[in-house]
């Protein structure tokens, strides 16, 4: 069976949804292939329920890493959304654009046209920011886009204690880390609107369907179909049959930084020797496919609370039922927040030009899998370096599209990672030691007050560090003559025709903070490349600490 559209997109996640919307809005006929099902239901739509969908097989691909050699062979979870909205439907809803210097680095390393001046107009176009009055921040923020960006109420006193502790430790405050100044302590932003998760499905797919130009097909993409060197469609398994979805113009892969390189390799695009090992014909020898895998790691610095002001009071059956019922009937209350309402971006040392450590503060001592600390009332900061030099890979485990790929991040393989993480632990202890936390802090839970030497901190990191779930980089964008680049600066796969990539796979280097925002921006910008248009550059001057070369704060 064959279905035909002008554009065939694989993956209904952050990049794919934004791309589908802009193409459909422009009058193009689009088929979007998604293996996952509906995103409807309280576990996804209620912000406070964020720990559930990323641990549910119905919504998550369930990937795990290969044994990580520098983390004592641990296998870490690598959740990826298997649902409409992709990972934006199972993530923590934190909205971070990344630092301006991140995108300037992209451009400097071969991704021409992707500097901050080039991408800022797309960040503005995609967002409807509710943090200020329209017109007061026209150079930096957008107010007309489909993606609502809001801030939590910060009603819990611990949020302001965290921000004030940062100031007391000598760090700047920042009123808007997505605006001119990322560095500092301040309120965190989220893709939440009127008490609901504002995923890419809510922001982009539903409006796209209303145009009449988008059709969503549920099926497992197995390979890209070629005629000669040109991609002409996608083969999918659907309802027990194999079908080909033909593309009159182009095929675009937006299946995640795990599944996109897998699909490229299944289609004969990748490292030639690896493809032959798996019995696959080599269509284009691109050794960068599946390479350059990056992520953010973090640890939970947890503290026991001296007062019962944390969310632990709701961490029981009755508490969860009451929070859920209030949200279900009113759309308000604790259920309407992801509880990440305060944050920070700091530099780890003098000579670091822009922030390289990120904090998410949470007024509860709990893991992503929903397991609360045994001490009861507590709070924590998720902290980790943002520009690890470690690189890993995604590889096939066989030619069967149903087989999960091998995922090896090679976490902590670079010696600088250990130096940066030790600094993060010690700087965090200093922040929580400020007077602002004196009324609230009883004791350190983990790493624990006895964990002080480099060796002791390293041992804690090996045992307890977790992924922040920000994989990217496995189809790196670069100059067309770069042998390790997979796509050119217009996101076209090098070596073939009619095929692009539009997700976090194309990031040359990981950006500061959470990746949902820049992944959506990628979909927005690539839509304009496809449509032959572009927004004017935004010439602005982001804030950089004037004494960064000599002072850490």
Question: Residue 272: what pLDDT?
Answer: 98
Report the pLDDT averaged over residues 322-336: 96
241: left (phi over 0), alpha (psi -120 to 50) or beta: beta
Report the pLDDT averaged over residues 96-123: 98
Question: Residue 136: what pLDDT?
Answer: 85
Closest by CA position to 247, among listed 29, 401, 35, 84: 29
Number of Cα atoms under 13 Å in the Cβ half of residue 50: 25
Question: Residue 375: what pLDDT?
Answer: 77
Closest by CA position to 552, among listed 343, 344, 352, 418: 352
Work out the percent of the chain whose per-residue pLDDT is above 90. Answer: 95
Identify the CATH homologous superfamily for domain 1-66+80-148+193-290+472-534. FAD/NAD(P)-binding domain (3.50.50.60)
* Catalytic residue list contains 470: yes
CATH 3.30.410.40 applies to domain 153-187+297-385+413-464: yes
The two structure tokens encoding residue 151 = 């801030």
pTM of the predicted structure, to 2 decimals: 0.98
Binding residues: 83, 91-94
Closest by CA position to 471, among listed 267, 235, 262, 280: 262
Which backbone phi and psi does 443 adopt, to 5 degrees? -165, 155
Helix axes 415-432, 157-168, angle to 10 degrees: 110
H/E element, 462: helix 454-464
* Parallel, antiparallel or unpaired: strands 393-395 and 406-408: antiparallel
The two structure tokens encoding residue 282 = 């080599």
Question: Residue 195: what pLDDT?
Answer: 97
pLDDT in tens, 181-212: 999 999 999 999 999 999 999 999 999 999 99
| Catalytic site residue from 148, 296, 393, 470 | 470
pLDDT at 122 over 70: yes
Q: With contact defined as beta carbons under 8 Å apart, do 128 and 143 qualify?
A: yes
Least confident of 129-133, 151-155, 270-274, 408-412: 129-133
Cα 132 to Cα 138, 386, 535, distances in angstroms: 10, 28, 23
Question: Residue 370: what pLDDT?
Answer: 66
pLDDT tier for residue 457 given thresholds of 50, 70 and 90: very high
pLDDT at 368 over 70: no
Residue 4 or 298, more confident: 298
pLDDT in tens, 220-279: 999 999 999 999 999 999 999 999 999 999 999 999 999 999 999 999 999 999 999 999
Cα 310 to Cα 306, 313, 364, 377, 383, distances in angstroms: 10, 7, 6, 6, 19
Task: Report CA 551 to chain centroid distance, whole Å.
Answer: 30
pLDDT at 454 over 80: yes
Average pLDDT, the chain: 97
pLDDT tier for residue 341 given thresholds of 50, 70 and 90: very high
pLDDT in tens, 492-550: 999 999 999 999 999 999 999 999 999 999 999 999 999 999 999 999 999 999 999 99
Question: Residue 25: what pLDDT?
Answer: 98
Residue 391 or 374, more confident: 391
Closest by CA position to 251, among listed 32, 36, 82: 32
Question: Residue 374: what pLDDT?
Answer: 66
Give the 3-state secondary structure of residue 205: helix
Domain extent listing, the chain: 1-66+80-148+193-290+472-534, 153-187+297-385+413-464
Work out the percent of the chain whose per-residue pLDDT is above 70. Answer: 99
Helix axes 116-126, 516-531, angle to 10 degrees: 100
H/E element, 275: helix 272-277
pLDDT in tens, 343-362: 999 999 999 999 999 999 99
pLDDT tier for residue 135 given thresholds of 50, 70 and 90: confident
The Cα 374–Cα 312 span in angstroms is 10
The Cα 136–Cα 131 span in angstroms is 10
Binding residues for FAD: 83, 91-94
Question: Residue 1: what pLDDT?
Answer: 64
Query: Measured on CA atoms in the order 530, 125, 140, 549, is the torsion positive or negative?
Result: negative
Query: Is it true that the peptide bond before 447 is cis, omega within 30 degrees of 0?
Result: yes
The Cα 427–Cα 311 span in angstroms is 25
Report the pLDDT averaged over residues 331-349: 97
Residues with Cβ within 8 Å of residue 341, at least 6 apart in sequence: 151, 152, 153, 154, 156, 159, 187, 188, 361
pLDDT in tens, 46-86: 999 999 999 999 999 999 999 999 999 999 999 999 999 99
């Amino acid at each position: 069976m064959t279905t035909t559209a002008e554009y065939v997109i694989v993956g209904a996640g952050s990049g794919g949804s934004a791309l589908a919307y802009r193409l459909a809005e422009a009058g193009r006929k689009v088929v979007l292939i998604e293996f996952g099902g509906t995103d409807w239901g309280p576990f996804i739509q209620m912000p406070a329920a964020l720990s559930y969908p990323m641990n549910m097989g119905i919504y998550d691909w369930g990937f795990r890493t290969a044994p990580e050699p520098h983390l004592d062979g641990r296998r870490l979870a690598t959740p990826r959304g298997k649902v409409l909205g992709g990972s934006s439907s199972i993530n923590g809803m934190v909205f971070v654009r990344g630092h301006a210097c991140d995108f300037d680095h992209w451009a400097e390393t071969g991704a021409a046209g992707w500097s901050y001046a080039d991408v800022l107009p797309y960040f503005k176009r995609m967002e409807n920011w509710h943090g200020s009055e329209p017109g007061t921040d026209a150079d930096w923020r957008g107010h007309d886009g489909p993606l609502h960006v809001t801030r939590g109420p910060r009603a819990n006193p611990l949020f302001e204690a965290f921000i004030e502790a940062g100031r007391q430790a000598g760090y700047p405050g920042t009123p808007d880390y997505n605006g001119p100044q990322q560095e500092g302590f301040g309120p965190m932003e989220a893709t939440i609107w009127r008490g609901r998760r504002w995923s890419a499905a809510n922001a982009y797919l539903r409006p796209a369907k209303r145009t009449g130009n988008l059709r969503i097909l549920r099926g497992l993409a197995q390979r890209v179909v070629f005629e000669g060197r040109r991609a002409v469609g996608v083969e999918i398994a659907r309802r027990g049959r194999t079908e080909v979805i033909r593309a009159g113009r182009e095929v675009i892969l937006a299946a995640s930084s795990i599944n996109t390189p897998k699909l490229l390799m299944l289609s004969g695009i990748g490292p030639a020797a690896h493809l032959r090992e798996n019995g696959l014909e080599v269509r284009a020898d691109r050794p960068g496919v599946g390479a350059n895998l990056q992520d953010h790691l973090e640890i939970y610095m947890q503290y026991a609370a001296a007062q019962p002001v944390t969310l632990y009071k709701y961490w029981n059956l009755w508490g969860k039922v009451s929070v859920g019922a209030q949200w279900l009937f009113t759309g308000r209350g604790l259920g309407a927040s992801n509880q990440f309402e305060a944050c920070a971006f700091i530099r780890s040392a003098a000579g670091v030009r822009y922030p390289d450590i990120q904090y998410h503060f949470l007024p509860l001592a709990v893991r992503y899998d929903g397991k609360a600390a045994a001490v009861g009332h507590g709070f924590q900061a998720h902290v980790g370096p943002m520009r690890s030099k470690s690189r890993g890979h995604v590889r096939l485990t066989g030619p069967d599209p149903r087989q999960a790929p091998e995922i090896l991040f090679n976490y902590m393989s670079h010696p600088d990672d250990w130096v940066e993480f030790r600094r993060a632990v010690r700087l965090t202890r200093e922040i929580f030691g400020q007077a602002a936390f004196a009324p609230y802090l009883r004791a350190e839970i983990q790493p624990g007050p006895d964990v002080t030497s480099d060796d002791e901190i390293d041992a804690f990191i090996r045992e307890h560090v977790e992924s922040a779930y920000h994989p990217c980089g496995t189809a790196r964008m670069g100059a067309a003559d770069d042998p390790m680049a997979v796509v050119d600066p217009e996101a076209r796969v090098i070596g073939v025709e009619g095929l692009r990539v539009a997700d976090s796979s194309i990031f040359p280097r990981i950006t500061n903070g959470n990746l949902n925002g820049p992944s959506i921006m990628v979909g927005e910008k690539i839509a304009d490349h496809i449509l032959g248009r572009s927004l004017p550059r935004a010439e602005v001057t982001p804030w950089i600490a004037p004494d960064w070369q000599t002072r850490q704060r």
